[in-house]
Amino acid sequence: MTAPLPIKTVATRAFNDQRPGTSGLRKKTKVFEQPHYLANFVQSIFSSLEGFEGKALVVGGDGRYFNREAIQIILKMAVANGFGEIIVGRAGILSTPAASAVIRHEKAFGGIVLSASHNPGGPDADFGIKYNISAGGPAPEKITEAIFAHSKVIESYKTVEAPDVDIDHLGETFVGATKVRVIDPVAIYRDLMASLFDFSAIRALFASGFTMKFDAMSAVTGPYAKAILEGDLGAAPGTVLNGEPLPDFGHHHPDPNLVHAKHLYDLAMSDAAPDICAASDGDGDRNLVIGRGQFVTPSDSLAIIAANAHLAPGYSQGIAGVARSMPTSGAADRVAKKLGVGIFETPTGWKFFGNLLDAGKVTICGEESAGAGSNHVREKDGLWAVLMWLNILAVRKQSVKEIVRAHWAEFGRNYYSRHDYEEIATEGANALVAGLREKLASLPGQIFGSLTVAAADDFSYLDPIDGSLSQQQGIRILFADGSRIVYRLSGTGTSGATLRVYIERYEPDPARHDLETQAALAELIALAGSIAEIRKHTGRDAPTVIT
């Protein structure tokens, strides 16, 4: 240990736009590069916390542009604020699930994760920051609101004068009295995965000629996927595509959806298809799984994982329950019912799963936004979901398509789609939502074509563990036949507003499980447009992204 460094107090002025959204603060990179902008938010985080003096803080990010500079700012501020140890991923790299795993493994006080997730990176793209608590998950609203409150009145922040810390070599060093430990970003996560899944069964699967393509999208999962898939599990070299994390993700949009990972979809549907195609996003918490000739919706993936998790050693005792975000399809509910375990419906945002996981109420969680995970960490976990699928495939010795089809035959199929209207004017988006709220009371009982509205509301969630209430979490129109339309404004965009429309219809009859999704949902899609007057409020004739 070296002597404590003098604390430097830097005068600043408050910014008024630092309210964390669905997952931390996400803004254009240039906003974060303004003098004091990042430092203000970091000080607001530290000022909202109590009792961290002398304790450990984990810091890492997805490697996007400004990651390294941000880490140096955070290190010096964490030193000045009195943390005893800072644990950093080498080169500043930690995937979001790995950061969660490290916080838990190292029993850290908390962590700062730098990412704007699936949003593009670069000087003209997006950056983000969020705080995770000691359980490893995103801070609950109580803390994010306290951070926001501090950010509005901040007048100064604390830092130290010190040379930049070498974060590219493993080992320990001291900045003043604070230890800085640079760790292998992959090791703890890799060991955790080996403890949950049957690696020898998956190795045998690959050895038998099973083929895979995993697109890391030039984002953070490359090193993890190479080490685990090609290293530990013996997948053929070249299985991992775009495996080097790049600051601008190779100019791509690291969102593993049917628009930005269409090449994988096309490959999976072609004659040259491998047995499975998969991808993860910028920070490694989202997943995409497509079997040969079979796309798996995230909602179906959650349900199938819940139904089959017991095949993986880490879950062989069965699962305690399942949680899904409200807009996620009800497919998982049917599985939970059959298993006789609890099912919880939370607002959008992984942070809402934390209490349920900590309390042991649920083991598996998932969201329609390409997220699935379990109680092994407190974030969704892209590679975990892919490994779970590999484990299921290795044990069941069936194809992805066979497994999906068998699942639908047993539980019925939830046709599901999300229509996004990105970067629309904020006024129009707010007017659309206000218009819907006005209509809510008059909708029940109304008949539209073959559909009768059974109920309509603005979703609110009473957390069963801490009693906190989250209101206005999405407008639901529920129909008598179990179909739903849900409307929400995204909490992760960085320009204008994004309207998300979620459409779902349940089909129990296996003879009707082969419809094209948009066709199966056509009546609901048209109705979603007319009830909300989407064209009038957005000026758009069609969604930007359909998933």
Which residues would be at the binding site for ligand G16 (CB under 6 A)?
22-23, 117-118, 285-286, 325, 348-350, 367, 369, 371, 490-492, 500
Q: Looking at beta carbons only, is 85 or 300 nearer to ligand G16?
A: 300
Q: Looking at beta carbons only, is 127 or 350 nearer to ligand G16?
A: 350
Shortest reach from residue 383's CB to ligand G16, in Å: 14
Q: What values do phi and psi take at 214, rounded to 5?
A: -120, 115
Q: Looking at beta carbons only, is 126 or 230 nearer to ligand G16?
A: 126
> Residue 96 is encoded by which pair of tokens?
């979001």
Shortest reach from residue 280's CB to ligand G16, in Å: 10
Shortest reach from residue 26's CB to ligand G16, in Å: 8
Would residue 5 be called left, alpha or beta, if left means φ above 0 and alpha means ψ between -120 and 50 degrees? beta
Shortest reach from residue 96's CB to ligand G16, in Å: 7
In 3-state terms, what secondary structure has residue 56? Answer: strand
Q: Looking at beta carbons only, is 243 or 373 nearer to ligand G16?
A: 373
Shortest reach from residue 23's CB to ligand G16, in Å: 4
> Residue 478 is encoded by which pair of tokens?
């529920």
Q: Looking at beta carbons only, is 298 or 412 nearer to ligand G16?
A: 298
The candidate with the shortest Cα–Cα distance to 64, out of 109, 112, 137, 114, is: 114
Q: What values do phi and psi take at 377, rounded to 5?
A: -140, -170
Contact 87, 58 (CB under 8 A): yes
> Residue 20 is encoded by which pair of tokens?
């964390």
In 3-state terms, what secondary structure has residue 213? Answer: strand
Q: Looking at beta carbons only, is 120 or 412 nearer to ligand G16?
A: 120
Is 530 annotated as catalytic?
Answer: no
Shortest reach from residue 117's CB to ligand G16, in Å: 3
Q: Looking at beta carbons only, is 274 or 371 nearer to ligand G16?
A: 371
In this structure, the dihedral spanned by the alpha carbons of residues 12, 13, 14 and 18, taken in order and rounded to 10 degrees, is -60
Residue type, 52: F
Shortest reach from residue 496's CB to ligand G16, in Å: 13
DSSP 328: S
Q: What values do phi and psi take at 268, rounded to 5?
A: -65, -25
DSSP 51: S
47, 117, 325, 329: which one is catalytic?
A: 117
Cβ burial of 339 (10 Å; 0-12, 13-18, 19+) is middle
3-state secondary structure 373-441: EECCCCCCCHHHHHHHHHHHHHHHCCCHHHHHHHHHHHHCEEEEEEEEEEEECHHHHHHHHHHHHHHHH
> Which residues form the catalytic set?
117
